[in-house]
A = this chain, B = another copy of it.
Amino acid sequence: MPTNHLDTLSETLLMGPGPSCVPPQVYSALSRYTIGHLDPRFIALMDEIKTRLRTLFQTDNALTVPMSGTGSSGMEACFVNLVEPGDRVLILKNGVFGMRMEDLASRLGAEVDVLEFEWGTPVVVEDVRAKLAQQAYKIVAIVHAETSTGVVNPVAEVGELVKGTDSLYLLDCVTSLGGMPVEIDNWGVDATYSGTQKCLSCPPGLAPLSFSDKAVAALKARKTKVPNWYLDLTMIINYWEGATRAYHHTAPINMLYGLYAALGVILDEGMENGFARHRQAHDYLVAGLADLGLEMAVAPACRLPMLNAVTIPAGADDAGVRKALLKEHDIEIGAGLGPLAGKIWRIGLMGHTARRENVDRLLAALKGYL
């Protein structure tokens, strides 16, 4: 009898850098009857997803839609719709996702400048101010919550610098959205994207995106077609907005059911309540780790609540501990990436995962391996 791999799946406590634990309402939504992507009932559900996403993003942006791919497709969509060859782009880099932005924008023919900050520390606002005084950019891009390091960047402060310029302010909020305040309009963000598998607690597969009117104007003013048919927002708008709802590509219908339900769970709890739950679970984790003699890798002032970088203690077997947690306790935590590989564990408290009882379970299991 060959293995049925679906039977190998167990309820796993997902405390890595995403995916996070999925609430029952979302699992149930995923398996609802598939209907057509042009069915009026589906159009109504799409409209409600847009409304819910605007609430989460704290924006009035008309163009607020989920892209049909995982979080990275949101990054791709933001850059490919806004960059034309030769455009100047400034990337504020202090981790893997800033590095990814640099790679991605370069592939599109942008003239990319990078301001790099030490991994594990935040973007320094004064350095950005000095850079912007020297050079004008079409796009200034920053990551809100650097999933690779556990650092929160000063998005509002950098936004104040960008507001007075012609630049578009591009924000990665993959890991922050739903777990801490993300204020797209207040911060002057022009283009942003997130992912479903972090604090939204929906399985991976969609990338919520929002463009300000200024970004839409830049999109419409392009001299060349968007060099990516699949992610071309000038066409995707016509499916997600307006009266005719012109077919572009077939939407990922059941994933959108999941997102709809996941957003419902967040709004039913209340966003502020959810943010507080994340902070409380984080504080509880930090205290519990200290009791075990473990240290956080990031300074308190710039720690993310939902992604906790923990210094691997001398003598501990990085991969061995992670494997044992998964195999013996059904708990997943994350490894370090890039220069932080082997140096940190990444403990996620994202969305549905961010609860004291989950922290207790992890601490009890971890204790046995230290």
Contacts and interface: CB of A to CB of B under 8 A. Distances in A.
A105 to B, nearest CB: 9
A21 B251 CA distance: 15
Contacts of A10: 33, 35
Interface stretch (A71-79, A153-161, A183-191): A71-79
Interface stretch (A41-49, A122-130, A276-284): A41-49
Contacts of A228: 76, 80, 107, 228
Contact of A32 (B3, B9, B75, B264): B9
A41 B5 contact: yes
The interface residues of chain A, by DSSP majority, are classed as loop
Given A48-B5, A107-B227, A12 B30 contact: no
Nearest to A197: B250
Assembly stoichiometry (copies): 2
Interface stretch (A138-146, A252-260, A297-305, A361-369): A252-260
Nearest to A96: B247
Contacts of A32: 6, 9
A70 B12 contact: no
B14 A35 contact: yes
Interface string A201-230: 001110000000000000000000111111
B12 A203 contact: no
A332 interface: yes
B19 A6 contact: no
A347 interface: no
A58 to B, nearest CB: 20
Interface of A: 3-6, 8-12, 14, 16, 18-19, 21-22, 27-37, 39, 41, 44-45, 48, 68-73, 75-76, 80, 100, 103-104, 106-109, 195, 197, 203-205, 225-230, 247, 249-255, 257-258, 260-261, 264, 326, 332, 337
